[in-house]
Amino acid sequence: MSDTRIDRRVVITGLGVVSPLGNTPEVLWKNLLEGQCGIDAIQAFDVSAYDCQIAGEVLDLDPTPAFPTPKEIRRTDRYAQFGIYAAHQALLDSGLDLNQANLEEVGAFIGSGIGGLSTLEKQHSILESKGPARVSPFLIPMQILNMASGLFSMYYGLKGPNVATCSACATATHALGEAWRTLKMGDAKVMFAGGAEAAVTPVGIGGFSAMKAMSTRNSEPKRASRPFDADRAGFVMGEGAAVLVLEELEHAKQRGAKILAELVGYGNTADAHHMTSPSPDGEGAARCMKMALRSAGMNPEAISYINAHGTSTPQGDICETSAIKTVFGDHAKKLCVSSTKGATGHMLGAAGAIEMTVCTLALRDQKVPPTINYETPDPECDLDYVPNQARDIPVQAIMNNSFGFGGHNACVVAKKFVG
């Protein structure tokens, strides 16, 4: 590989998804456009004692095609199974032939906000009941949050850059942005980037419930997550994964790849404000969006659609709305801004990659998905949130926002590819 650093163009050539609304990008996209919701009563464990009893769960996924043997699946936590399956799917979608590729130039940045929580819970129970001698030797490699990225590289022989980002709900968007930078700098030709999460577990639900962060609208799970609506009362957890294939443009052209979109900008800032609450008026988020636009070389007016972080929390949705108005000025009222978390739940460390998949398909099909469950306008959330019905609009460029606990902010900008 040449050591020369030049500013390369980066395109999206493959998509892979595991989600509460479908386990392929096309099924997810169809269900989103139809206004479907993947949230329901939790089936994974008994929730009768929990304040929050609902989530967006992944159902009926067989990860076998992505793994070398069934034994490897048993040695892999659920979150990593999701991530590896989504990456395998993205590989197939991209048409990339790894037998023909220089594997030193192919890498993976697949992060997780929480990692192998289910494994940790189960093995802690064994420790308490049966003693340390019975703890699995696979506890640590199953629990640590780099294993989706690490195992995918091992199974598929990828020897390029490999990092697992962890920045709470901004994890996957940071993975995309850092992979974009890696490609622009010439340190790889192809990157698999995204996030995976499987925190619908007793400790996961119990912990977020204790924070009073989650909706308790248990009797109406399909209506519980309602971003930007005046009656929102907390987020609903989702699980799953998404991985995108990012590729240096000339490499993609040389192999005749289908090009879905071009990734052109990335912002990464910190609120430096509070452990869980966003900075007042969304100041940190606004700086992040401005950074993403600046790195893309775009004016705010160039953006057609924003996939908002929009978690359905009372304060978070107000802060994001304020930040969008700060950055986009008069154009904010002309933008389509929607949150797909009403349909999928909040997939934590996987959210940004699921939503970037949605943005990529919006650019491809010139449609934007709705914010479902938007019924009562909030005077402090006064933008066009594409309520309840998908919309056909000219989509030239998009922004994808992700903001996480710890004050982590990440934004990426993509546009229709023009050769």
- Residue 64's φ and ψ, nearest 5 degrees, are -50, -45
Nearest CA to 301 out of 411, 371, 396 is that of: 396
- Residue 410's φ and ψ, nearest 5 degrees, are -140, 135
Q: Which two tokens stand for residue 172?
A: 């996957």
Residue-by-residue DSSP string for 65-129: GGSS-HHHHHTS-HHHHHHHHHHHHHHHHHT--TTTS-GGGEEEEEE-SS--HHHHHHHHHHHHH
Let me know: does 391 contact 376? Beta carbons within 8 Å: no
Task: Answer yes or no: 346 catalytic.
Answer: yes
Catalytic residue among 169, 288, 336, 381: 169
Question: CA 69, CA 65: separation in Å to the nearest integer?
Answer: 9
Beta bridge partners of 194: 110, 243
- Give the distance between the most distant pair of CA atoms in the chain: 64
Helix axes 117-130, 78-94, angle to 10 degrees: 150
Contacts of residue 304, defined as CB under 8 A and 6 or more positions apart, other chains included, come to 335, 336, 393, 394, 395, 396, 397, 398
Task: Answer yes or no: 309 catalytic.
Answer: yes
Task: Answer yes or no: 169 catalytic.
Answer: yes
Catalytic residue among 88, 174, 251, 309: 309
Residue-by-residue DSSP string for 229-254: BTT---B-BB-EEEEEEEEEHHHHHH
For residue 406, the tally of other CB atoms under 10 A from its CB is 17
Let me know: does 399 contact 267? Beta carbons within 8 Å: no
Share of the chain residues as helix, strand and coil, in percent rounded to the nearest 5: 40, 20, 40
Which amino acid type is present at position 244?
L
Nearest CA to 235 out of 147, 156, 309 is that of: 309
Catalytic residue among 319, 346, 359, 408: 346
> Could you give the residue numbers annotated as active site?
169, 309, 346
